[in-house]
Structure formats: C-alpha cells, structure tokens
Amino acid sequence: MSQSSATARGLSSGLVASVDFHTMSDFQLYNSLTRTVDPFTPADGKTVRMYSCGPTVYNPAHLGNFRTFLFADLLRRALRFAGWDVRQVMNITDVDDKIIKRAAEQRTTIAQVTEPMTAVFQADREFLRIQPAESYPKATAYIPQMIALVERLIERGLAYEADDKSVYFAIDRFPGYGRLSRLDRREVRAGARVAQDEYAKENAQDFALWKAAKPEDEATGAAWDSPWGRGRPGWHLECSAMAIELLGPTLDIHCGGIDLVFPHHEDEIAQSEGATGQPFSRWWCHGAFLLTDGSKMAKRLGNVTTVQGMRDNHVSAAALRHFVFTTHYRKELNLSDDALEASINAVRRVGDFSDRIGSATGGTPELTAVAETALTGFREALFDDLNAPNAMAAMFGFITRANAEFDRRGSDLAGLARAREVFAAMNGVLDIVPDREVGDAALVGWVEERLAGRRAARARRDFTEADRIRAELLARGVAIEDGPAGTTWKVL
C-alpha cells in the first residue's frame, strides 16, 4: 500500500517545532464577556489555563456537542501553535437531573448509567482526533470541594438555606450578576427560586447550589452527606468547584457552547467570584450551534446525529473535521449531505498530497517561497479569532501551488524540507489528512492476492485481465498506482 496512517499523518508530528511562528503578541480572540476581539496572552505568559464544559453522560454526545468540542480542540491546537503550553480541564457531568431520571427509569445507579456513556464519549473523541485534555474530572469525585464552596458562599452572605433544606445563591446580593449574558437586572425577581438544572432564559432567579435529597436521589446513589443534610450538588456548582480546584481561582479561558452563556456560565461566574473575590475567567469563548434543516441539533427535537452514525456511513474523522472547520466557530453551521460529500472529496485531495509530499525525493527552490507564503496566510487566519475557513484556504492554496512545483520534478532538498515542515505545521492544527491505515487483515490479503494476479496478467501481456482486476479493486474502494518502485494501493 502507499502510505500508512502513521506516515500520511506523521507529517503533522515531530516537525512542527522547527517551523518559525513564535510571534504571539498578535493572537486575537473574541471574548464573550467584552463582546470584542482582543489580543490574548496567558496571565503568566507561558501556560494557558483552559476549562471546557464537557458532556453530560446519560446518552452518547451528538454531533452538535462535538462541534463545540472540536472548536475547543482547534483553540487548544492554535494556542500551542502560537508557542504556549496548554493545561486543559474538561469536566464529565455524571450527576444531574437527566442522569438521575434515566437511572430511576432503569432501576439502576447513576454510575451504571454514566460509566458506559463516558467510555462512548472518549471513543468518539479519539475517533475525531480531539486531543485529550490534561484532566477529565468527574463531578462525583469532587463533592467535598463543592460543599466547601457552598460553605464559603454562606459565610459571605451570598447563599442561604431554604425551608426545603436546599441551599440557594441569592443573585440580588451579587452586583455583577448578568454581565456575561447582558441580563436586564430589572427583570430579576429577587427571592424567586429555581431548582432544576435547566431553565428558560427569562427565569433569572436564585439558583440551587445544593439540592436536598429526594427518594430517587437516594435510590440511584445520587446523595451525599453535607452540613445541610443529605443532598447533591446543583449543575452549575460542579464546574466552578472543579475549575478552581484544578486550575486556580482565575482561568485564562473558559469555553463551551453558546447555549451555556445563560444560565450555566452566568451562574458559574456568580458563585465562583462570590466565593473567591477574584475574576473567574479572563476570556469567555463560545461556539455556535450545529443545525439540521435550520434547527439546532438537540436530543429533545429528535434530530440528532451521532459520531457512530457518521462512522456507520463511512464518513471519516478527517472529513468531519474539515466540515466543521469550513465555518467560523461563532457562526451557525448547517449539516447536509452535500456539505459532507464536499468535505469527503476535499480531504481525499489532502490525503493524496500527503502521500505525494511524503514520498517526494526533491522539490524546487521556488517551493520554499510557496511554503512561506502559505504559512504566513495560515498563521494570520488562525490568529484572527480562529478563522479556520481562511486557514484551510491557505492550506489548500499551498497544496495547489506545491503540486505545480512537484510537477516540475526538481531536486532541491531544502525546498522539499521546508514544504514538509509547513504542511506538518498546518495539519498539526487542522488534522485533516485522512487515515490511510487498513485495519481489515482479510482485505489486505485479498488486495495483495489480486495484485499478484494482475502482475501475472501483465507479465503475459494480458492487459484486458489486468484492467479487469484494477476495476475489481476500485469497486471495493481500493485505488492502485503503478510507479518505478512497483504498484502501490490505498483505500479511498
């Protein structure tokens, strides 16, 4: 076969460090808190402390969720491309109303619901080539930290125990409440309470920090001892406690989907800053929705598409990444068959170029200039609030121009080396070289057998039979190419 996945994608690892792109002062990033695009740098100048809201593991995460996770992956890779270290924490919500309801319906525990779904999430994440975060804390492992945070809020007069033995955050006692979502404070009904984990945007009310245990909580293993009696944490409390514990009182970046701005992130700010007296996050970054036929993808609407569904339809990780990156992360993206087909074709071109540049023996002196121009355009796009569409345009422009230089069959090794470095750097961020590895041993054996038959046919000058075997291979999705070193093949 032509290139294994390790070779085809290997250009995106190990070579990136040699590319000169460490000019970090012009990294521009939109901040949902200020509603402006501003120059970003981590507080300590070295390491970006980044918190990403992760999945609620009662069902497999759908493609709309993974658009947000792919945005966080792009941000993480771009920050590292800029030369900074990244310490990313992505939480696993393994206790909330939905999980408890599912466990009660199945007459099981929340752990028995969430553990298999956590494994599905991690498998889907790995398939989509989303780089692993440094930490994936589970909410149920941080109950003591959550209780301590609630105690601090009570001590500071920002929370109170209600008659129902739950503890609520008093939003009218926190002057900054509403500044992220631009909530009109005149619409806030002081003293009104909301206990559920999700509520409508018009319901700005005191929210539950700690919920008194109900029979279904006890039955499903979702209740813990606390100074206020048996209970469990509120959804918003979980992220604050884990973020502060693992990253400190002030984050560099907090990111998630646009639907989390209110109430989730607004409530995180209130309880975190109320407890610590320090800004909770310097930047807030939010990704827009993935749409299906013009509607937000959501389980309650019944229009969800899962990663496994994409895999079953033979849509590669590279194609899905390309599809997501065709639209800026702050703009809505519509899922369609035509768009996916276009991405499948696009990454096939990237894969062919990866094979070509990986096996090339030389380039031209002009190839160096082509690479430098592409890297400049790529970097400018990426550092302009993660403009992935323009970054991909720079990459595809490079492929077109580099192919033209390779057609000239030059022998310049310096130009080839620089082209490989730049291609590796760009793909190290986008990661859209398709996987060439064939995992089916039976298919490998069958292909090698057919190629042996084709060689025999060509040796006896039976070109009709040789062409028939080529067509047979193509029908199974296997393309072959004859060259000086023999015949190579790859799965399309």
Q: How high is the pLDDT of residue 17?
A: 35
The CA-atom distances, in angstroms, between 434 and each of 15, 111, 309, 354, 437 are 19, 36, 18, 9, 9
Q: What is the mean pLDDT of residues 380-394?
A: 98
CB 103 within 8 A of CB 109: yes
Q: What is the mean pLDDT of the chain?
A: 89
Q: What is the CATH number of domain 32-301?
A: 3.40.50.620
CA distance 345 to 341: 6
Q: What is the mean pLDDT of residues 51-71?
A: 96
* Other Cβ atoms closer than 10 A to 51: 29
Q: How high is the pLDDT of residue 485?
A: 63
CB 430 within 8 A of CB 390: no
Q: At a CB cut-off of 8 Å and minimum separation 6, what does 371 contact? A: 398, 402, 415, 418, 419, 421, 422, 423
> Which of 422, 434, 482, 442 has its CA nearest to residue 458?
482
At the topology level, CATH places domain 314-430 in Isoleucyl-tRNA Synthetase; Domain 1 (1.10.730)
Q: Does pLDDT of 24 surpass 60?
A: no
Q: Where are the domains of the chain?
A: 32-301, 314-430, 441-491
Q: How high is the pLDDT of residue 479?
A: 85
Report the SS3 class of residue 252.
strand
CA distance 151 to 270: 15
CB 167 within 8 A of CB 122: no
Q: What is the mean pLDDT of residues 155-160?
A: 97
Q: What is the mean pLDDT of residues 447-466?
A: 87
CB 63 within 8 A of CB 290: yes
- Span between the terminal Cα atoms of the chain, in Å: 12
The one-letter amino acid code at 284 reads W
CB 194 within 8 A of CB 203: yes
Q: Does pLDDT of 33 surpass 90?
A: yes
Q: Does pLDDT of 325 surpass 50?
A: yes
Written as six digits, the tokens of 236 are: 């918003």
Of 372 and 8, more confident: 372
The one-letter amino acid code at 100 reads I
Q: Which long-range contacts (CB under 8 A, 24 or more apart) does 468-472 make?
A: none
What predicted TM-score, i.e. pTM, was given to this entire model? 0.84
Q: What is the SS3 string spanning 170-232?
A: CHHHCCCCCCCCCCCHHHCCCCCEECCCCCCCCCCCEEEEEEECCHHHHHCCCCECCCCCCEE
Q: Does pLDDT of 7 surpass 50?
A: no
CA distance 371 to 401: 9
Confidence category of residue 448, pLDDT binned at 50, 70, 90: confident
Residues linked to residue 167 through DSSP beta bridges, in sequence order: 161, 210
Q: Does pLDDT of 25 surpass 70?
A: no
Q: What is the mean pLDDT of residues 333-353?
A: 93
CB 236 within 8 A of CB 263: yes
CA distance 63 to 278: 35
CA distance 256 to 196: 20
Q: How high is the pLDDT of residue 70?
A: 98
**pLDDT, tens only, 171-222:** 999 999 999 999 876 666 666 777 766 655 455 789 999 999 999 999 999 9
Q: What is the mean pLDDT of residues 435-458?
A: 75
Q: At a CB cut-off of 8 Å and minimum separation 6, what does 381 contact? A: 387, 388, 389, 390, 391, 393, 394
**pLDDT > 90: percent of the chain:** 72
Written as six digits, the tokens of 284 are: 């807030």
CA distance 80 to 91: 21
